[in-house]
Structure 1
């Protein structure tokens, strides 16, 4: 499982121009079952994504397609979390799932 922190960069003022494309990119991640949750960092510092079911290289390729990353609106920090315990409602996160979602070319 990965926690992705998208922290605003110096080009933050350009976010409005790319917001629709960024939201479409996020939705694709949800539609493909890779993104489980997303939201804003408090204090307007950027955003966060909970990603699951792909390996680090596939996640990096996916992040490189985010219009906010492409246009240097945010920088992406990826935290790889190896879960050892989870609430029963989140037990599926403990499962190993082969990466079946590839980034489109």
Structure 2
């Protein structure tokens, strides 16, 4: 499981220019079942994604296709973690 942090860069003002492509990229990740949760980093710092069912190299490749990443609107950080305890509703995450 991974957390992807997409933190706005100094080029943040270009976000509207690439928003349609970024939203399509998010939709693809959700449709593929790789992105489980999408949200905003507060206050207005960027976005976060919980990704599951992929490898680190494949996730790096996927993140690098995000128009926000490609055009330096955000910098991406991927954090890998292994859950050890979860609520019963999320037991599938324990593998």
Fold match by TM threshold 0.5: yes
TM-score by length of 1: 0.89
TM-score, structure 2 normalization: 0.98
Give the distance between the partners of 1:85 and 1:16, measured in 2 at CA: 39
Match of residue 40 from structure 1: 40
Superposition deviation, residue 85 in structure 1:
1.0
Alpha-carbon RMSD across the aligned residues, in angstroms, is: 0.5
Size of the aligned set, in residue pairs, is 95
Runs of 4+ in 1 over 6 A off after TM superposition: none
Query: What SS is found at the alignment partner of 1:83?
Result: coil
Q: Indicate yes or no: 2:65 matched with 1:65.
A: yes
CA distance in 2, matches of 1:75, 1:91: 31
> What are the Cα deviations for residues 13-45 of structure 1, in whole angstroms up to 9, with x where unaligned?
000000110000000000000000101111100
Residue segments in structure 2 that go unaligned for 5+ positions in a row: none
Task: Give the Cα–Cα distance (whole angstroms) in 2 for the partners of residues 90 and 78 of structure 1.
Answer: 21
Alignment partners' CA distance in 2, 1:11 and 1:93: 35
